[in-house]
Structure 1
Amino acid sequence: MSTFTFDGGPVPFRPGQTVGAALVAAGRPAWRTTRVSGSPRGIFCGIGICFDCLVTVDGEPNQRACLVRAEPGQTVTTQEGTGHEHD
């Protein structure tokens, strides 16, 4: 089984699985916080319509984890707010 890195730790995934599906399967239901209240968010719609599952993938913020295919060696991190350093 392949892995990508999430917040410094390995996350296993199966071929064709999205980052979001792999995170949920690994027991991580939330990986983003909202801008205003800091509430935890993860997958909500699961089809790319909402933006609750945003993560930063290989340095690119605002990637929907439910749409991004997991790839070996990817670096995925929790997204804080808008994902930009100077919010």
Structure 2
Amino acid sequence: MKPGNKPGGGIARAKPVGFRFDGATYEAPAGESLAAALLANGIHHLRDGPEDRRPRGAFCYMGLCQECLVEIDGAYVEACRTPISQGLEARRLRYGKAQVK
């Protein structure tokens, strides 16, 4: 049996933990990427485009394109490279009224 697989099929997942995105609370398995956790929770809009202000979401899911930038503790991070942990708080990057720093 391959590591991470459960007998009878399926994938072994870590215990779900709570995290927040734009003030709303969600759950995802600990250690899963923030981008994957948001997608699993139906969140596709991670930031606004700096020029056209149109919604942007994750594209490559491996840290190359930087389309999934979000803000955590005042720093801009790639959601696809950020593991979920209990109490993580992230926010969508917005341009316009709430300016990106």
Taking structure 2 as the reference length, the TM-score comes to 0.76
2:57 aligned with 1:57:
no
- Show structure 1 runs of 5+ residues with no match: none
> Which residue number in structure 2 is paired with residue 72 of structure 1?
86
Query: 1:15 matched to which residue of 2?
Result: 30
Which aligned runs of 4 or more in structure 1 are off by greater than 4 angstroms? none
More strand by share: 1
In 1, the alpha carbon distance for the partners of 2:46 and 2:18 equals 17
The structure whose RCO (Cα within 8 Å, separation 6+) is larger is 1
SS in 1 for 2:81: coil
Per the alignment, do residues 2 and 63 of structure 1 end up closer, same or farther by CA in structure 2, a change over 3 Å counting? same
Q: Flag structure 2 segments of 5+ consecutive residues without an equivalent.
A: 1-15
The sequence identity of aligned pairs, in percent, is: 31
C-alpha RMSD of matched pairs (Å): 1.4
Indicate the structure (1 or 2) with the bigger Cα radius of gyration.
2
